[in-house]
Amino acid sequence: AYGDALLRCRDQQDWTVEEVTYLLSPPTVEDEEALRLSAEALRQETLGDVVDVRGAVEFGNICRKDCHYCGLRKSNIQLTRYRLDLEKTMQAIEDIYNMGIRTVILQSGEEQENETASIIKMIEAIKERFKLRITLSLGERSLADYKAFRQAGANNYLLRIETTDHELFSKVHPDDDLEERMQHLLWLREAGFLLGTGGLVGLPGQKVASLAQDILYWRQLGANMIGIGPFLPAAGTPLANQPAGDLAITLRVYAVTRLLCGRVFIPSTTALASLHPDGQRLGLQWGANSIMLTHTPEEVRSHYHLYKNKAKVDLDFACRSILEAKREIPAYLNWPTRK
Ligand code: 5AD
Ligand code: SF4
């Protein structure tokens, strides 16, 4: 019966939450492996074996919000706050460019509205100096800001929905509203961005049915990129003593997302690498097709403390994950250790 459900994934248009919950709950270990193999087959057919590598710069950790799971939350007074100046940011971008990478992600906490001008300056400076695609991951901002960022030359915007479970969303997001977050994703599309979204797996109280609902939301949104990570406890947060998300369930979410969302970019995330030593390799073997390495300057790196024991995913780490997963390092990448 489970095998039949997997076969239907290719053609079935309308899915119920119950059906997707079933896909997320393989009854036997053989079914679990069948799920993985179906996702891998679809990934192989649609995107091939090359793992796309992108580079992120976490240029600031100042945040106005207080999300219960995140180490950057404004109430976390133990954290040293920083914001890189343009020169430092450009240096990090240049390093990424020299690695051969052609897409950079600019990531920060949710900054104040008066930072709009400095962000636009950053985008323009990068576009002027390097032939790079720019992905922004800056949290919620105004529609006018989104349009201005797009105008300045940014290409993609990454804004995770985190969870589509109303009750859970409100519980962990004291400053946010689920409908508003969904509206922001529509504004981003209206502004002309390719959309990235995604969510957390294993938040305290999160049900498998709510993960199924998340996948259906990503599918109907038609996102180009879907970032999925296990919840990991972070010091200085209300959820500091909660257990981390489960590896097996997270991998099932990867596979079912691949099956239902088709030819989308699914990164094997830093959170997955932080949860388990083989996490990133496993992500690549459960439907993922890209890696986002982090190239934040050494002196501030530890302050981008989203959660405990964050893995250091640099060029070397990313390339080793790719080789361990028996996949291809892209030809554009300059990895000195390459054989
Ligand atoms: N565990 C896992 N992922 C987290 N993020 C924030 N805090 C955590 C955590 N404790 C992720 C969120 C957010 C991004 C900034 O990092 O999904 O979108
Ligand atoms: Fe700020 Fe984003 Fe962390 Fe929430 S998840 S506290 S908005 S950095």
Q: What is the CATH number of the domain that holds 264?
A: 3.20.20.70
- The answer as to whether 258 is a domain residue is yes
Counting ligand 1 atoms within 8 A of each CB, the residue from 296, 306, 310 with the most, and so the one to mutate, is 306
Residues above pLDDT 70, as percent of the chain: 100
299 vs 311: CA distance, rounded Å: 16
107 vs 313: CA distance, rounded Å: 15
Per the structure block, which two tokens stand in for 141? Answer: 């901002």
What is residue 337's predicted lDDT score, i.e. its pLDDT? 86
Burial 44-55 (b: 16+ CB within 10 A, else e): eeebeebbbbbb
Residue 113 belongs to what domain range? 2-8+15-324
pLDDT digits (tens, 9 = 90+) for 84-124: 999 999 999 999 999 999 999 999 999 999 999 999 999 99
Counting ligand 1 atoms within 8 A of each CB, the residue from 211, 241, 307, 308 with the most, and so the one to mutate, is 307
Per the structure block, which two tokens stand in for 35? Answer: 């799920």
- The answer as to whether 332 is a domain residue is no
Count of domains for the chain: 1
Sequence-ordered list of residues with C-beta below 8 angstroms from that of 67, at least 6 positions apart, any chain:
73, 172, 173, 174, 175, 176
- The answer as to whether 338 is a domain residue is no
Ligand nearest to the CA of 176: 2
- The answer as to whether 161 is a domain residue is yes
pLDDT digits (tens, 9 = 90+) for 127-167: 999 999 999 999 999 999 999 999 999 999 999 999 999 99
* Structure-derived torsion over alpha carbons of residues 139, 144, 149, 150, reported in degrees to the nearest 10: 110
- The answer as to whether 337 is a domain residue is no
The answer to whether the CB of 304 is under 6 A from ligand 1 is no
- The answer as to whether 243 is a domain residue is yes
What is residue 338's predicted lDDT score, i.e. its pLDDT? 73
ipTM of the complex: 0.99
Report the mean per-residue pLDDT for the chain. Answer: 97
Least confident of 10-14, 32-36, 56-60, 229-233: 10-14
What is residue 339's predicted lDDT score, i.e. its pLDDT? 57
The mean per-residue pLDDT over the stretch 250-255 comes to: 98
The answer to whether the CB of 307 is under 6 A from ligand 1 is yes
